Amino acid sequence: MRLIIAEKPSLARAIADALPGQSRRSDGAVTVGDTTVTWCLGHLLEQAPPDAYDPALKQWRLDHLPILPNPWRLMPRPKARGQLAVIRRLLKEASSVVHAGDPDREGQLLVQEVLDYLKWRGPVARLLVNDLNRPAVVKALGQLRDNSEFQALYRAAETRSRADWLYGINLTRAWTLTGRQAGHNGVLSVGRVQTPVLGLVVRRDAEIAAFTPRPFHVLWVDLAVEHGNLRAWWQPGEHHPLDDQGRLLQRGPAEALAARLPGSQGTLASLNAKKSRQAAPLPYSLSALQVDAARRYKLSAKAVLDTCQSLYERHKLITYPRSDCRYLPAAHHGPSRQALTNACQGDATLGPWLAGADFSLRSKAFNDAKVSAHHALSPTGTRPDFSRLSATEANVFRLIARNVLAQFYPPLETREVKAEFTILEERFRAQGREILAPGWKPLFTTRDEAPPLPPLREGEPARVQETGVEDRETRPPEPFTDASLIKAMMNIARYVQDPAVKRTLRDSDGLGTEATRAGIIETLLDRGYLVRQQQALRATQIGHALINALPEAVGRAERTALWEQRLTDIAETGSDPSPFLSGLVEDLRGLLGAADAGRMRSALSDARGVAPAAPSAATSKRKPRRASTGKGATAKRGSSKRSTTQSASGKTTGTSSGRRKAGTSKPRSKKTDDA
């Protein structure tokens, strides 16, 4: 019997449907001819907790650190034992195995660690599926490769998992115990991704708190030109008092010029008109959808993820949602007409959009070379019953369908005009935008565009009709919201200075993954490091204190970039991961040496009064989340796709009384992990 082990049930169903013959379902598997297809439920295994290596490590003590497992051990996840037993039974009957994890680093680890744990020693082939469309799966089944070709990818994923455990377990215990010495009761969780995300919010809040508004002044003129009227803005020269962005800092020069301008005659000194064509926005990845849904419907990142899971699993209306890709396979182009026709049936919003689509068009979104482990979110072609969808489900589904529909609309064509006038030997600038062909634009906005400039020709006269001086103030940065924080995590390179690090982060997936970003935000909220104030995400007192007490590098993204460089090298060249892990241990020793109760005490004191307190257990309405068993679990890990439910001590813990001797007792609080 040939056994195919898929990463998740949806992939297993697609593989079984692509096999020739009648299928027969059993508990946890599908059999077709001499092939049985089973599946994982995300990660079936997790890193063992510290006390699995030594019972003494169940107690949290500074003199136990660093904890360095040797050899490393995995253990079954509690909710995955049943499926693990199914795979164990099937392996005893198998003559060969096909590894059908996702074609990425984590997908390679997810299935192979199960085979190693269950001590499979027979042949293993590798099936690479990135499109659940039946012809694509049939093609992939005809192109099996030897799993030995992917051992470097496996070692890189295994190394990442171990490195995150070392980092999170050791630093969480160190700063929790140091916090207790400084008077803080409760776990202070530290992780390679979670903590830099918190650092983003803490630093943004600090910028806002330290911001001092500065007044500046603008002067406008309404001009009569040959074919109409327009408004232009004064461009003061460098001999006037300007800030670094060219804004006028004193009102006097603007007032003096405004007094001279009425009735003055000038000329159009320069005219620059440029036509442009803009293709439709690409179909959504999960993070891109979370950004747009947060802006349009004020949904949290987790609400969007949960809604997508419902549309995918319950209603069967969209493809796999936890995707980081914004492209579709070329084979989807032809069937898109029927899939979108079905998706738009009976909806007053989608129906007119469907009517305007031209399915002979082929956008750049259909590109096999750009498709990664998963393709962009798209409708499956199942006809929706909108009466069975919640308002949020319907809104999110429309967004997903709209972005795929937009691929069958022509480009937006515009004409950008910049005009500079000379009046009383001073420069005045006007600019406008004219829509020549709306293309896909009406699907995305119903707002009226600013009126375009009237027809202009260089050298034509212009007469001043009215003038005005406006007083304005510089504004502080906006606090993070779900949308802007997700976007910052996607584009984390913007927040670092080192050019080499910028390049690495630009080439990587940013902080976290599509599957974990919403969970990172929710974890920071649950642990009391962030709080929502209307739509804004603000760091709490303990969030500020933790970042300010940690070494600066722990709260920044540069470490993720350096890790990704090394892990990519392991995956691509097959280099030995031992030097990376040895270097991490040395780094950890230095970081652990920086744990200082005095610095923590000072940080806690400084945070009081300058940041909101975390919600208390008595007043918080947030419900505790259940542990997820999926590879993309959103609640537990911020450092990778892999999720974990263990605490920093390896156990779920309660509330600390705060009366035990600091440094020798095991603090009891909310679950922590190495993210």
β-pair type (2-6, 35-39): parallel
Q: Which tokens in the block code for residue 90?
A: 């099937």
Q: What is the rounded distance in angstroms from the CA atom of residue 90 to the CA atom of residue 88?
A: 6
Residue 238: Cβ within 10 Å count: 7
Rounded CA separation 261/259 (Å): 6
Where in the sequence numbering do the catalytic residues fall?
320
Distance between CA atoms of residues 527 and 555, nearest Å? 16
454 near 229, Cβ under 8 Å?
yes
Q: Is residue 347 a contact partner of residue 107, using CB atoms and an 8 Å limit?
A: no
The two three-digit tokens of residue 566, written as one number: 């090394």
What single-letter amino acid sits at 36? Answer: T
Rg of the chain, C-alpha, whole Å: 29
Peptide bond into 667 cis (omega under 30): no
Q: Is 277 helix (H, G, I), strand (E, B) or coil?
A: strand
All residues at 6 or more sequence positions from 571 whose CB lies less than 8 Å from its CB, including other chains: 105, 152, 153, 155, 156, 157
Instruction: Give the ranges where 5-49 is alpha helix by DSSP (H).
Output: 9-18
* Residue 6, beta-bridge partner list: 39, 100
CA 227 to each of CA 21, 230, 455, 456, 482: distance values in angstroms, whole numbers, following the listed order = 74, 10, 6, 7, 46
Burial of 2 (0-12, 13-18, 19+ CB in 10 A): middle
What distance in Å separates the CA atoms of residue 373 and residue 246, rounded to the nearest whole number?
A: 47
